[in-house]
């Protein structure tokens, strides 16, 4: 299995690293590539971020190394695509080079996946028209505007397209993928290896559960 994680300036780094930490432990992963798109430092779209470059996250506080530029990756060589989210997805939604590459990957992929607002890129590429999908709770309207049938679940699978809700949900998505790909025991083994026995100190991780003052404040910040 050849895994590709699309990375770009303005991504949310946990969206990518959560699934990475799970999927990279799967048996039979022959390659795992951090595939760069966009112009380094510019925060605008393009296709030039390649080997040796670093993409910066949406708060410009952490950098992830790029293995190869998107333009150099044969779409047919990617079996499992992960598209993370972050504000950096907005310019990608209008970048035809990125969208057509994503479409071409999807034609031959075994799995096409996204975390958080990564689903906006799948949607903009036309892959979610009439398809049940999820994404960050603050981007549900925007996701619906791409034609997706928004389902406010943590992980939504429709055939080979798997989308996850906001940021941390990529870990749950990747464990489900691990089970579908390699079986329950392999997934449980990975879960135990990364000691994923979550015990958040609060039960405020979704807009349905968080105090309304907290929900309203975040909504108004994005508004």
Nearer to its own copies, 151 or 179 (CB): 179
**Contact footprint for its own copies (CB under 8 A):** 12-14, 17-18, 20-21, 24-25, 32, 34, 54, 59, 61-65, 116, 136-137, 154-155, 165-169, 171-172, 175-176, 179, 184-185, 187-189, 191-207, 209-211, 213-215, 217-218
- CA–chain centroid gap for 25, Å, is 18
**Considering the complex, what minimum distance in angstroms separates the CB of residue 72 from its own copies?**
18
Dihedral of CA atoms 21, 24, 27, 28 in degrees, nearest 10, equals: 160
Nearer to its own copies, 130 or 220 (CB): 220
Question: Which are the contacts of 121, defined by CB distance < 8 A and separation ≥ 6?
Answer: 6, 83, 89, 92, 93, 98, 99, 102, 114
Q: For 47, left (φ over 0), alpha (ψ -120 to 50), or beta?
A: alpha
Catalytic residue among 35, 116, 155, 190: 116
Is residue 116 flagged as an active site residue?
A: yes
**Considering the complex, what minimum distance in angstroms separates the CB of residue 126 from its own copies?**
25
**Considering the complex, what minimum distance in angstroms separates the CB of residue 15 from its own copies?**
9
Dihedral of CA atoms 154, 156, 162, 165 in degrees, nearest 10, equals: -30
Instruction: Sort 23 into a burial class: Cβ within 10 Å, 0-12 / 13-18 / 19+.
Output: buried
Nearer to its own copies, 37 or 187 (CB): 187
Nearer to its own copies, 101 or 137 (CB): 137
**Considering the complex, what minimum distance in angstroms separates the CB of residue 157 from its own copies?**
11
* Residues known to be catalytic: 116
């Amino acid at each position: 299995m050849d895994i590709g994680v699309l990375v770009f300036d303005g991504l949310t780094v946990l969206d990518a690293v959560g699934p990475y930490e799970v999927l990279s432990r799967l048996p039979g992963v022959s390659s795992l590539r951090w595939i760069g798109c966009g112009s380094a430092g510019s925060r605008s779209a393009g296709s030039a971020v390649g080997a040796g470059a670093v993409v910066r996250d949406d708060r410009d506080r952490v950098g992830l190394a790029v293995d190869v530029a998107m333009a150099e990756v044969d779409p047919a060589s990617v079996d499992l695509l992960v598209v993370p989210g972050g504000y950096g997805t907005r310019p990608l939604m209008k970048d035809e080079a990125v969208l057509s590459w994503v479409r071409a990957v999807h034609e031959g992929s075994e799995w096409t996946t996204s975390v958080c607002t990564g689903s906006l890129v799948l949607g903009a590429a036309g892959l979610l028209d009439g398809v049940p999908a999820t994404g960050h709770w603050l981007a549900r309207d925007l996701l619906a505007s791409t034609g997706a049938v928004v389902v406010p679940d943590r992980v939504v699978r429709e055939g080979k397209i798997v989308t996850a809700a906001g940021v941390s949900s990529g870990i749950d998505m990747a464990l489900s993928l691990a089970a579908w790909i390699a079986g329950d025991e392999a997934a449980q083994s990975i879960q135990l290896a990364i000691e994923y026995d979550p015990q958040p100190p609060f039960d405020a991780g979704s807009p349905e559960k968080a105090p309304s003052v907290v929900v309203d404040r975040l909504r108004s910040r994005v508004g």
